[in-house]
Amino acid sequence: DTAVSQTPKYLVTQMGNDKSIKCEQNLGHDTMYWYKQDSKKFLKIMFSYNNKELIINETVPNRFSPKSPDKAHLNLHINSLELGDSAVYFCASSLNGGLTGELFFGEGSRLTVL
């Protein structure tokens, strides 16, 4: 059983297009996140949701819009894709808002913008 699953695993698209990445966790966690890993493998938080409420919005362009329909799902929609959006996007989840310290990451969604 996959704890944090993301779809799709790979996305190749043209500049200017809109795309979505979906994430689901079956761990019963109350907090979910989106992290971005760039080509140099640097990981940076984008958003976090606690019980469907946006907690962290880390100066991400407005073209990125997260949506959490329920505690187990967090989707990421990206409008007007740019070359610089090419990266691996990781969904993660945690219990107790992350205060326990452990985040469980999905396997990532590799986005390539041409």
Partner 1 sequence: QQQVKQSPQSLIVQKGGIPIINCAYENTAFDYFPWYQQFPGKGPALLIAIRPDVSEKKEGRFTISFNKSAKQFSLHIMDSQPGDSATYFCAASGAGGTSYGKLTFGQGTILTVHP
25 near partner 1, judged by CB under 8 A? no
Decide if residue 92 touches partner 1 (CB under 8 A). Answer: yes
Residue 108 touching partner 1 (CB under 8 A): yes
Cα 113 to Cα 7, 25, 28, 110: the distances in Å are 17, 27, 33, 10
Nearest approach, Cβ of 11 to partner 1 (angstroms)?
15
**What CA–CA distance (Å, rounded) separates 14 from 67?**
23
Euclidean distance between CA atoms 43 and 12, whole angstroms? 21
Contact residues toward partner 1 (CB under 8 A) are: 4, 31, 33, 40-45, 48, 50, 55-56, 58, 90, 92, 94, 97-99, 101-103, 105-108
